[in-house]
Amino acid sequence: MSDEYKLWEKKQQDKGVNIGWVKERLKSFKVETPSWGYGDSGTRFKTFKQVGVPRNLFEKLEDAAQVNKYTGMCPTVAIHIPWDKVDDYGKVKEYAAQLGLKIGAVNPNLFQDDDYKFGSLTNVKPDIRRKATEHMLECIDIAKEVDSNIISLWLADGTNYPGQGDFRMRKHYLEQCLKEVYDALGDNMRLLIEYKCFEPAFYHTDIADWGMSYTFSSKLGPKAQVLVDLGHHLQGTNVEHIVAFLLDEGKIGGFHFNNRKYADDDLIVGSINPYELFLIFNELITASLDESTAQTAANIAYMIDQSHCIEPKIPAMIRSVLNIQTAYAKALLVNRNELKQAQEADDVMAAEAIVREAFETDVQPLLEAVREEMGLQPDPMATYIKSGYGEKILSRGIGGKGWE
């Protein structure tokens, strides 16, 4: 135990922090990384191809295993179908296990087939709705094969112009399709429904906000829940409030972590607005300590949804994971008893200070101590860079499989 850490621990204990509890929470905290975050992706203007990018799902898993190896907190990987389509999913499951990984959420893709130009599950043509529903059912089968219990749906459907579509009719089509999908879920499976305010459609999106995701998932039943992607809100939206509200309703099932400055920028988590990330964790931790919300909080799938256009993929993923861990650690330090007292006394200044001071605390000594206790190196990024893996994969060449 370093002197720096001992000092840090003493200071926190004096403030009433239960360090043993904080460490346990940090050790059991896991975040899923996305297979597509290891591949090439771009903007609508250009995809810059990088050397050494995985050529298939197996290589994406190898890269994901590196992130898990150095951070100790990413044992599952989300897949996207058909980007990650293979003939034999048994082999995927097996290879993942060899790497110390499991397959996490299965993401259907209803946005890159020409047939979906005017919508998929909301398309006015029954045969296209059928095709999209079949794809969802195929993803449920894949999830069962790889022992995953999450289907994560983002629906890109929407329209570009007033009058282009019948809002209510499209809603009915979507409800019908989702009902069929919901009924095919296994007993322990969940359907997480993402929302997004705009893009690729620019006039309306069929699942535009959390209220719509909430309504669809409530009508479906307990196996359907809302997924919050941090990049999918209009500017200024109070995301932590949405999170608290959904926690209280038992209807939040997962996150897609990323960060943005303007729209759905998919930047490194915590790179632009780390305070928002911290405040979200503050709500999640508070809910985990409240009997009425503890179960919902315990079942949340924490996932990263990030696309790296110019960043080297593995270091960018490690950075995101570490930023998430840092925000989580800081949120664990909030003195909830004092906060409650301040709230009950309507002491605005004290309440704000209690939350902010936790955010301002340097948690690096704590994280290093936790990593050591987990048998990890204290600096995961430096250890990865030194490992030489980044150089080794250059032999894969250019033209790896990415966001396509």
Summarize as ranges the residues that interact with Mn ion (CB under 5 A). 229, 256, 264, 305
b/e map 183-214, b = 16+ CB within 10 Å: ebbeeebbbbbbbbbeeebeebbbbbbbebbb
Decide whether 72 or 158 has the Cβ nearer to ligand PSV: 158
Decide whether 227 or 351 has the Cβ nearer to ligand PSV: 227
Q: What Å distances lie between residue 156 and 75, 97, 176, 232, CA to CA? A: 28, 32, 17, 12
- Establish if 50 lies at the interface with ligand PSV (CB under 6 A): no
Beta carbon of residue 374, minimum distance to ligand PSV (angstroms, whole number): 30
CA 118 from centroid of its chain's CA atoms: 28
User: Which residues in 325-364 contact ligand PSV (CB under 6 A)?
Assistant: none
Beta carbon of residue 256, minimum distance to Mn ion (angstroms, whole number): 4
Q: CB under 5 to 8 A by kind: which of Mn ion, ligand PSV, none does 251 bind?
A: none
- Pattern 185-214, ligand PSV, x by CB under 6 A: ---------x-x------------------
Residue 377 makes CB contacts below 8 A (sequence gap 6+) with 70, 371, 383
Decide whether 129 or 256 has the Cβ nearer to Mn ion: 256
Beta carbon of residue 107, minimum distance to Mn ion (angstroms, whole number): 8
- Establish if 107 lies at the interface with ligand PSV (CB under 6 A): yes
Beta carbon of residue 194, minimum distance to ligand PSV (angstroms, whole number): 5
Work out which of 50, 68, 133, 307 binds ligand PSV, going by CB under 6 A: 307
User: How far apart, in whole angstroms, are the C-alpha atoms of residue 390 and residue 387?
Assistant: 8
CB-hemisphere CA count at 13 Å for 55?
A: 9
By CB atoms closer than 10 A (0-12, 13-18, 19+), residue 171 is middle
CA 27 from centroid of its chain's CA atoms: 19
* Phi, psi values for residue 267, rounded to 5°: -85, 170
Tokens standing for residue 122: 């909301």
Question: What DSSP element (H or E) covers 288?
Answer: helix 274-288
Decide whether 40 or 264 has the Cβ nearer to ligand PSV: 264
Q: In the 8-state DSSP scheme, what is residue 138?
A: H
Q: CB under 5 to 8 A by kind: which of ligand PSV, Mn ion, none does 36 bind?
A: ligand PSV
Work out which of 217, 305, 331, 354 binds ligand PSV, going by CB under 6 A: 305
Beta carbon of residue 10, minimum distance to Mn ion (angstroms, whole number): 42
Work out which of 256, 260, 313, 371 binds ligand PSV, going by CB under 6 A: 256
Q: Site size for ligand PSV, by CB under 6 A? A: 10
* Phi, psi values for residue 244, rounded to 5°: -60, -40
Decide whether 197 or 342 has the Cβ nearer to ligand PSV: 197
Q: What Å distances lie between residue 258 and 32, 198, 231, 325, 368, CA to CA? A: 12, 17, 7, 13, 24
The secondary structure of 375-388, three-state, reads: CCCCCHHHHHHHHC
Beta carbon of residue 123, minimum distance to ligand PSV (angstroms, whole number): 19
b/e map 353-362, b = 16+ CB within 10 Å: ebbeebbebe
Beta carbon of residue 102, minimum distance to ligand PSV (angstroms, whole number): 19
- Establish if 264 lies at the interface with ligand PSV (CB under 6 A): yes
- Establish if 368 lies at the interface with ligand PSV (CB under 6 A): no
Beta carbon of residue 238, minimum distance to ligand PSV (angstroms, whole number): 20
Tokens standing for residue 68: 């898990």
Q: CB under 5 to 8 A by kind: which of Mn ion, ligand PSV, none does 107 bind?
A: ligand PSV
Decide whether 43 or 295 has the Cβ nearer to Mn ion: 43
Q: CB under 5 to 8 A by kind: which of Mn ion, ligand PSV, none does 122 bind?
A: none
Q: What Å distances lie between residue 4 and 7, 368, 370, 386, CA to CA? A: 5, 11, 14, 25
In the complex, the residues that contact ligand PSV under the rule CB under 6 A are 36, 107, 154, 194, 196, 229, 256, 264, 305, 307
